[in-house]
């Protein structure tokens, strides 16, 4: 492709994206593609020679779009949001266009310094502890996902607990024990496996009726493990659990961690964005005890996947766990110790200039623009919950601290399954489920930037329509 063609098709593609996003609400939200259907429409063999870009665009429209689930639809209420936004898309396009690899400061100083600066901005915007600032012994870094961020936290904690020994000699012995709640995200267990801790050595601490970790149970488990000669080294608290938005008591957990010298990691992947608003800043309560913290701008902060903001209190523990310096990476700036080399803060060596999209988003929306979106979603969730509560056939099943409403029809699992299936098959909305008290429970997660009151009203009407149909067919 020549530069002129790139300009032409680039403009066309930007137009296409704007058109798609403006009309995202008109597609059936959940793709209706059957397994294998997309592949069956793709040519079996790669093209022998160059194809015109028009042909690629045709296949985009005819093959790819029907195989999409429309995460940017205002009627997307499933799982958690995964927003993009125009400034973020432009930032990502620019990152691709610049094509720099910011693995070391020296390989593109702007990639590192813009990232460091934007991470410090987040601290200011969200009232995070000053200990996470780049000017302190801590610091922030963009990871691809919360799963990776929690993994590097676990590895740094492991290294601290073993005096750096496990990196060379292996974790061995199964003596290291980690803790999280029964409601924690599955990534924590995956990370425990990847880091060689093993699922068996990750304790799932019971929760209370609000799905929050019970600190007294944590203390008991730690005491039991210590008495048995094991080494408790890592606790992951969650603020905003995936299933039902439970909020662990981070300060109480933090005090226990301090007492035993245990690394406290806080996973606020979805809920963390709420800290933009002073009235929701309780999501950061207790962070003064945290050794590390992660939240995902790629969920609720209008920054397209992937962009996970990870902060540590003591960057030296992270770097000592992850830094290996082969000869070919040696350079004067790194050796002088005056620069940040983010490759030492993550698993991969290479890294994209992800900070651009976050920088663009923060500048285009401003703090107030981002706050408005969070406030609107929380208000809509509360309103939806009030409609559910007012209906004698339904009940709310969580406390709705932010923008996730867990609710169910009182008629039992079969009715709720019918509502879920019917609503999703209708194409009008996409809803997912969880199990609470061993009962099938519906989750309405409100977080797409285009979601307005009318979309939430329509979702509630669809849910009621499907429930009425289910009752009628019984």
Residue 245 C-beta: closest distance to ligand PLP, Å: 9
If the CB atoms of residues 116 and 147 are measured against ligand PLP, the closer one turns out to be 147
DSSP secondary structure string for all residues of 34-99:
PTTHHHHTS-SS--SS---HHHHHHHIIIIIGGG---TTSTTB-SSS-----HHHHHHHHHHHHH-
If the CB atoms of residues 186 and 473 are measured against ligand PLP, the closer one turns out to be 186
If the CB atoms of residues 306 and 341 are measured against ligand PLP, the closer one turns out to be 306
Residue 119 C-beta: closest distance to ligand PLP, Å: 16
Binding residues (CB under 6 A) for ligand PLP: these are 80, 145-147, 185, 187, 238, 240-242, 267, 269-270, 296, 308
If the CB atoms of residues 105 and 310 are measured against ligand PLP, the closer one turns out to be 310
Residue 264 C-beta: closest distance to ligand PLP, Å: 16
Residue 190 C-beta: closest distance to ligand PLP, Å: 9
If the CB atoms of residues 267 and 291 are measured against ligand PLP, the closer one turns out to be 267
Distance CA 54, CA 98 (A): 25
Residues 6+ apart with CB under 8 A from 315: 137, 138, 139, 345
CA dihedral sign, ordered 128, 129, 134, 139: negative
Residue 1 C-beta: closest distance to ligand PLP, Å: 32
For residue 405, what are the β-bridge partners?
A: 444
Distance CA 163, CA 44 (A): 53
Residue 185 C-beta: closest distance to ligand PLP, Å: 3
**Hey, how many other C-beta atoms are within 10 angstroms of the C-beta on 82?**
18
Structure tokens at 30: 């959940």
Distance CA 344, CA 349 (A): 8
Residue 181 C-beta: closest distance to ligand PLP, Å: 11
Distance CA 201, CA 210 (A): 25
Residue 307 C-beta: closest distance to ligand PLP, Å: 9
If the CB atoms of residues 156 and 339 are measured against ligand PLP, the closer one turns out to be 156
If the CB atoms of residues 269 and 440 are measured against ligand PLP, the closer one turns out to be 269
Distance CA 148, CA 310 (A): 10
Helix (H) or strand (E) holding 224: helix 215-227
Distance CA 375, CA 291 (A): 29
The packing angle between helices 250-260 and 215-227, to 10°, is 20
Residue where the block lists tokens 């904690």: 157
If the CB atoms of residues 238 and 449 are measured against ligand PLP, the closer one turns out to be 238
* Helix, coil or strand: residue 211: coil
If the CB atoms of residues 78 and 176 are measured against ligand PLP, the closer one turns out to be 78
Contact between 179 and 202 (Cβ < 8 Å): yes
Q: What is the dihedral of CA 265, 271, 277, 283, to 10 degrees?
A: -40
Residue 374 C-beta: closest distance to ligand PLP, Å: 16
């Amino acid at each position: 492709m020549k530069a002129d063609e790139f300009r032409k098709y680039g403009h066309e593609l930007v137009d296409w994206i704007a058109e798609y996003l403006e009309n995202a609400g008109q597609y059936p939200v959940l793709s209706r593609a059957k397994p294998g259907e997309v592949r069956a429409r793709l040519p079996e063999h790669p093209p022998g020679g160059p194809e015109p870009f028009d042909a690629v665009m045709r296949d985009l429209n005819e093959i790819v779009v029907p195989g999409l689930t429309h995460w940017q639809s205002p009627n997307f209420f499933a799982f958690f949001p995964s927003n993009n936004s125009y400034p973020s898309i432009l930032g990502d396009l620019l990152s691709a266009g610049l094509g720099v690899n910011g693995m070391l400061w020296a390989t593109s100083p702007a990639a590192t310094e813009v990232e460091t600066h934007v991470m410090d901005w987040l601290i200011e915007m969200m009232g995070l502890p000053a200990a996470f600032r780049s000017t302190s012994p801590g610091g922030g870094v963009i990871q691809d996902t919360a799963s990776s961020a929690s993994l590097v936290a676990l590895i740094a904690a492991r290294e601290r607990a073993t005096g750096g020994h496990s990196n060379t000699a292996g974790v061995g012995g199964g003596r290291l024990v980690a803790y999280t709640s029964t409601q924690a995200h599955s990534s924590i267990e995956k990370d425990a496996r990847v880091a060689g801790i093993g699922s068996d050595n990750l304790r799932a601490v019971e929760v209370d009726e609000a799905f929050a970790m019970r600190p007294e149970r944590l203390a008991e488990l730690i005491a039991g493990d210590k008495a048995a000669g094991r080494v408790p080294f890592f606790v992951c608290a969650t603020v905003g659990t995936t299933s039902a938005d439970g909020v662990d008591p981070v300060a109480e957990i933090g005090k226990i961690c301090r007492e035993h010298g245990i690394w406290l990691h806080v996973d606020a992947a979805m809920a963390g964005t709420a800290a933009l608003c002073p009235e929701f800043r309780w999501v950061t309560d207790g962070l003064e005890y945290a050794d590390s913290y992660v939240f995902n701008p790629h969920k609720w902060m209008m920054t397209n996947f992937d962009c996970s903001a990870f902060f540590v209190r003591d960057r030296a523990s992270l770097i000592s766990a992850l830094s290996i310096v082969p000869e070919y990476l040696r350079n004067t700036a790194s050796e002088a110790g005056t620069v940040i080399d983010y490759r030492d803060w993550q698993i991969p060596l290479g890294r994209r200039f992800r900070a651009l999209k976050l920088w663009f988003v923060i500048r285009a929306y401003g703090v107030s623009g981002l706050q408005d979106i969070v406030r609107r979603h929380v208000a809509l969730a509360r309103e939806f919950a009030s409609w559910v509560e007012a209906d004698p056939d339904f009940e709310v099943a969580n406390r709705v601290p932010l923008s996730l409403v867990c609710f169910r029809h009182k008629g039992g699992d079969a009715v709720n399954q019918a509502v879920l299936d019917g609503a999703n098959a209708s194409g009008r909305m996409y809803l997912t489920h969880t199990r609470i008290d061993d009962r099938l429970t519906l989750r309405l997660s409100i977080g797409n930037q285009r979601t307005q009151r009318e979309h939430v009203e329509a979702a509630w009407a669809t849910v009621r329509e499907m429930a009425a149909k289910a009752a009628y067919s019984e």
